[in-house]
Amino acid sequence: MKNVFKRGLNLLTLFSSNNENITTDFIKDNILDYRELRDSAFKRSFERDKSLLKEMGYLIEFENDKWKLSDGYSISGTRIIEEIKKSKNIDTNRFISIYQIIKKYLNLNYQFDEQSIIISKIVQAINEKRRISYKYKGSVRKVYPLGLKQYDGQWYVGVNEQSIFKTFKLSNIEDLKIGSLPNLHNIDNVKINFSWEESMTPMLLIIELSEDSYFIFKNKFNHKVKNKNIFEDKLKIELETYDLQGLTQFLLLTESEIIQMSETEKNKLLELINE
């Protein structure tokens, strides 16, 4: 995945330095990762890289216009902000501030490991109420996922298996597959309790941050909102959580100002950060 991001960046650089359409041979000769590939392997890699850039808002298309002097690939989508500014229905300043937050979080150094892919599939299944199947310690399980939580540095998924709520450790899950049918259940996933929650005391704290930051990053950790107040663009929120590691990531990403926290809670966070 790291090589895919690098090639994508190289493609953007190549197109930005050329005003004319560029040919397939020119692309292959000027990007090192393509240069040594056979034609069939190059085409597969190039198509995959084009798909990635398309998801990021950049469209690479081949132009064959009889009125132009040269055929070749061109790129579009790089002037999206100019189109946004023309729309009276979009708050441009708010869009740019949210974009800056997302840009800080989604950077090219991020690498997708196996667990990240599993988490992504489970989140999709939870949102779309699909069934999943996977191998767990040698046995095949077919379940309805209801929630994901992080505890003591490990990820767990809470599921409904034959009307019984169970907790599975993600690091032991293999060969996960999502069912094709959505909306298979109406189980309330707000009231589920993970196995450790009966014996733990949740962390209580009050934080103040921008409303946009909370909206973007609130799913980084599992928590319950007890009270909240909004004044202008600032959100003051009282919450409780068992997910200390997720909370730490949330505070770092949002640059939240902690308004109130007990000495005991503060020591819990410091202990986690210093591990």
pLDDT, one tens digit per residue, over 106-137 is 554 444 567 778 888 898 898 888 999 999 98
For 203-273, CATH gives 3.30.70
Alpha carbon of 88 to those of 57, 77, 82, 84: distances in Å?
A: 21, 20, 12, 9
DSSP lists the bridge partners of residue 241 as 203
Is the predicted pLDDT of residue 176 greater than 90, yes or no? yes
Residue boundaries of the structural domains of the chain: 2-78, 114-178, 203-273
CA distance 258 to 236: 10
Rounded to 5 degrees, φ, ψ at 199 are: -105, 0
- pLDDT range class, residue 33, cuts 50, 70, 90: confident
- Show the tokens assigned to 162: 């034959």
Mean pLDDT of 68-97: 65
Residue type (1 letter), 243:
D
pLDDT score at 24: 87
CA distance 48 to 8: 10
pLDDT score at 1: 47
DSSP lists the bridge partners of residue 158 as 147, 167
DSSP lists the bridge partners of residue 230 as 235
pLDDT, one tens digit per residue, over 225-272 is 999 998 877 889 999 887 776 787 788 777 777 778 888 877 777 765
Q: Is domain 114-178 in CATH 2.30.30, yes or no? A: yes
Average the pLDDT over each of 17-26, 34-43, 110-119, 230-239 and give the range with the smallest value: 110-119
pLDDT score at 95: 66
